[in-house]
Amino acid sequence: MIRIDGLTKRFGDRAAVDDLTFAVEPGRVTGFLGPNGAGKSTTMRMILGLDRPNAGTVTVNGHSYVGVARPMREVGALLDARALHSRRTARNHLRCLAQTNGIADKRVDEVLQLVGLESVARKRAGSFSLGMSQRLGIAVALLGDPKVLLFDEPVNGLDPEGIRWIRELMRGLAGEGRTVLVSSHLMSEMAQTADHLIVIGKGRLIADIGIGEFVRQGSNVLVRADDQDRLVPHLVEAGGSVQQGTDGSFVVTGLEPRRIGEAALAARVVLTELTPQRSLEQAYMDLTRDSVEFQASAV
Ligand SMILES: Nc1ncnc2c1ncn2[C@@H]1O[C@H](COP(=O)(O)OP(=O)(O)OP(=O)(O)O)[C@@H](O)[C@H]1O
């Protein structure tokens, strides 16, 4: 469990993280979202004690992570996959870290196998592709078998097979009861991986919400029904607005699928389709529209 309370980090007169409060619960994958420059990496660095906050506190499993004797056993982190000794072999890189954290050598071979790098374990890390470096970074994060894991853009540079592997790995780690916080800009990926979302913009909390609820909020729902004429007045009475489609369907705004189902039950009309139409990407774009700092203009 990670607890962040009133966390603030300023660079000069600019707040990169501004009075942020949220908790990351164990047993689920929490997606950490926000536009470029929102403060995600800075927040992760403060969780790890790599940046010192100007105000507020961070605790990991109930205590401050700064000054912990064997940090890799408490928290595993992938922040920047390229941050490694490029002349060391992958295996040596892991062995050095294992030694300084009191981790047995055999764990090095275990994590190399886990991330699929055994065949290149004796190659220099500097010769690795971005995807291989990501895998090595993940091996580092897993080395101490920690209960808390932070991943900053872990799918960067991975091929589709690698992306699926990461997804299953994260789901598996959360399934074992670990705390998993992962940042990403790939909404389709987050939709498949995360259970919960923390969304920030310009250093401030925008949403702390379950992924299902996030997508449902304010969504449109495509509806088909046996007797539309009987159903529509019930939907309007329930607070929905209805827009007629061209193919016998219609779109309801302002009501969740459950409320539409209840209105259909009251009207004694059979629903033949009930499809929420908002994607995670659309929900995210709607929510963060006012927090985007760097925006390209239309050509
Ligand atoms: N060491 C630093 N010195 C000065 N400004 C910094 C420093 N680190 C981060 N910042 C600034 O803090 C803000 C937040 O940056 P951060 O990297 O945390 O955002 P992010 O959400 O991770 O962005 P991205 O999605 O682009 O990786 C940005 O405006 C950035 O320029």
36 shares its domain with 104: yes
Question: Does the CB atom of residue 33 touch ligand 1 within 6 A?
Answer: no
**Is 296 part of a structural domain of the chain?**
no
Q: How far is the CA of 284 from the centre of ligand 1 (A)?
A: 20
Q: 181, 209, 237: which is the final residue of a domain? A: 209
76 shares its domain with 128: yes
pLDDT for res 185: 86
- Per-residue pLDDT tens digits for 82-94: 776 678 899 999 9
d(CA 59, CA 68): 12
**What is the count of structural domains for the chain?**
2
Q: Extract the tokens encoding 280.
A: 């995670």
**Is 291 part of a structural domain of the chain?**
no
Other beta carbons less than 10 A from residue 23's beta carbon:
14
184 shares its domain with 221: no
Most ligand 1 atoms within 8 A of CB, residue of 4, 18, 40, 43 to mutate? 40
Predicted confidence band at 70 (pLDDT cuts at 50, 70, 90)? confident
264 shares its domain with 195: no
Other beta carbons less than 10 A from residue 245's beta carbon:
11
Q: Of all residues in the chain, what percent carry a pLDDT higher than 70?
A: 95
- Per-residue pLDDT tens digits for 138-159: 999 999 999 999 999 998 878 8
pLDDT for res 51: 93
- Per-residue pLDDT tens digits for 269-296: 999 999 887 777 777 887 787 777 666 6
- Per-residue pLDDT tens digits for 185-213: 888 888 889 999 999 999 999 999 998 88
* pLDDT (average), residues 42-68: 90
Question: Does the CB atom of residue 42 touch ligand 1 within 6 A?
Answer: yes
Q: How far is the CA of 202 from the centre of ligand 1 (A)?
A: 10
Residue nearest to atom 11 of ligand 1 (CA): 16
157 shares its domain with 263: no
* pLDDT (average), residues 95-112: 93
170 shares its domain with 68: yes
- What average pLDDT is seen over the chain? 89
Q: For residue 47, what are the CA distances in angstroms to 33, 65, 234?
A: 16, 7, 50
Report the CATH number that the domain containing residue 279 is assigned in CATH.
3.30.70.980
**Is 58 part of a structural domain of the chain?**
yes
**Is 139 part of a structural domain of the chain?**
yes
**Is 294 part of a structural domain of the chain?**
no
Q: How far is the CA of 41 from the centre of ligand 1 (A)?
A: 7
pLDDT for res 294: 62
**Is 200 part of a structural domain of the chain?**
yes
Task: State the residue for tokens 């990461």.
Answer: 166
* Pair 173, 146: CB distance under 8 Å: no
151 shares its domain with 253: no
pLDDT for res 267: 96
Question: Does the CB atom of residue 127 touch ligand 1 within 6 A?
Answer: no
Which atom, in ligand 1's list, is nearest to the CA of 39?
18
Q: How far is the CA of 203 from the centre of ligand 1 (A)?
A: 9
Identity at 46, one-letter amino acid code:
M
Question: Does the CB atom of residue 38 touch ligand 1 within 6 A?
Answer: yes
Of 32, 34, 42, 17, residue with least CA distance to 293? 34
- Per-residue pLDDT tens digits for 6-35: 999 999 999 999 999 999 999 999 999 998
219 shares its domain with 186: no
Residue 66 confidence (pLDDT) above 80: no
Task: State the residue for tokens 């660095």.
Answer: 45
- Strands 179-183, 148-152: parallel, antiparallel or unpaired by DSSP? parallel
**Is 249 part of a structural domain of the chain?**
yes
Q: How far is the CA of 89 from the centre of ligand 1 (A)?
A: 31
pLDDT for res 211: 87
CA 238 to chain centre: 34
pLDDT for res 277: 78
pLDDT for res 151: 96
- Per-residue pLDDT tens digits for 228-267: 999 999 999 999 889 887 778 898 988 888 999 999 999 9
* Pair 76, 154: CB distance under 8 Å: no
* pLDDT (average), residues 49-64: 92
150 shares its domain with 22: yes
pLDDT for res 218: 65
ipTM: 0.96
**Is 298 part of a structural domain of the chain?**
no
Task: Name the phi and psi angles at 212, rounded to 5.
Answer: -65, -45
Most ligand 1 atoms within 8 A of CB, residue of 9, 11, 82, 284 to mutate? 11
Q: 158, 187, 209: which is the final residue of a domain? A: 209
Give the residue numbers spanning the domain of 281.
215-286
12 shares its domain with 131: yes
In terms of phi and psi (left: phi > 0; alpha: psi -120 to 50; beta: otherwise), the region of 49 is left
Residue 217 confidence (pLDDT) above 90: no
Most ligand 1 atoms within 8 A of CB, residue of 33, 41, 200 to mutate? 41
Question: Does the CB atom of residue 283 touch ligand 1 within 6 A?
Answer: no
Question: Does the CB atom of residue 112 touch ligand 1 within 6 A?
Answer: no
Report the CATH number that the domain containing residue 105 is assigned in CATH.
3.40.50.300
Q: Extract the tokens encoding 264.
A: 């259909």
205 shares its domain with 65: yes
Question: Does the CB atom of residue 41 touch ligand 1 within 6 A?
Answer: yes
- Encode 201-228 in three state secondary structure: ECCEEEEEEEHHHHHHCCCEEEEEECCH
221 shares its domain with 172: no
* pLDDT (average), residues 34-47: 94
Q: 193, 209, 225: which is the final residue of a domain? A: 209
